[in-house]
Amino acid sequence: MTAKTDVRNSKSKSRALKGTRLELTLAAEQVFAVKGLQGATLREIREQAGQRNESVIHYHFGSREAIVESVLQLRSAPVDVRRTEMLDQARAASNGMPLSTEQISRCCLMPLAELLLDGSSPPGHYMRFLIQLRVDRAVWRQFRGLYGLGLEACLAALRNCKPYMPVQIVDQRFISVMDMQVNGLAALEQIQHAQGSAFRYDDARVRIEDLIATGAAMFDAPLSPAVLAALDKSTEQARKDEGGG
């Protein structure tokens, strides 16, 4: 793996995403989504893009991590912009009050869901790519802080609306909701590919709205006696560790 600073440098040196570079990026998104970030070979990406030149990937990217970043540049950057827009709109509508969990859940999900609901282009593979990226923690950590800033803002909004809830629970629930939502969208993406023109967008919107509602319910779930007991035990142990006894 290259260092995080190397990934940042590759971004500043990247060429505009068009032509062969765009074709390779879309091919990489598909191959990574199916084979995984480590399971996919550069040859499979090249062949998926219809390229015969064996050095084409090295010429345009130079490394596997640079191809991953190119997918994120293509997909995640505009999703981040959309999330920021939605959060700003939600805050304006809340008149200074903390956002509701429904608003936060919607801001998390809808910018991704809109990629599925856009019928103007063929279905992509980004949701399944995201699952592979979240599983590969070593690669995921290289891009934290570079992409997903909209999600960080959503998490901050959730902490703000749950000041009475332990931060570790808030953070854990946020991760659980994101996993649930991305997996739900990935399933819809796969159905969209399988059904083609028969894909029912109205049914997809029902499932998306339910994912939003389920996310809000997960955020709002009360702390059970078992969770409270586990928190007390964890806090007590932490105090002992700090005290050295």
**Whether pLDDT at 146 is above 90:** no
**Whether pLDDT at 170 is above 50:** yes
- Summarised one tens digit per residue, pLDDT across range 36-88 is 998 999 999 999 999 888 889 888 998 888 999 999 999 988 999 999 999 99
Rounded Cα distance between 129 and 184, Å, is: 13
Q: Cβ(66)–Cβ(132) under 8 Å? A: no
User: Which amino acid would we find at residue 183?
Assistant: N
- Summarised one tens digit per residue, pLDDT across range 13-42 is 334 567 889 999 999 999 999 999 989 999
Q: C-alpha angle 46/54/28, rounded to 5°?
A: 20
Alpha helices (runs of H) in the chain, residue ranges in sequence order: 4-13, 19-35, 42-48, 56-60, 64-94, 101-117, 126-135, 137-143, 149-161, 167-195, 201-220, 225-243
- Summarised one tens digit per residue, pLDDT across range 106-131 is 999 999 999 999 876 777 899 999 99
Tell me the residue length of the chain: 245
Q: Report which of 65, 75, 33 is spatially closest to residue 143, judged by C-alpha positions.
A: 65
DSSP letter, residue 124: -
Rounded Cα distance between 87 and 108, Å, is: 9
Q: Cβ(112)–Cβ(183) under 8 Å? A: no
Q: What is the pTM of this model?
A: 0.85
Domains of the chain: 70-240 (1.10.357)
In terms of Cβ atoms closer than 10 Å to its own Cβ (0-12, 13-18, 19+), residue 245 is exposed
Q: What is the pLDDT of residue 120?
A: 67
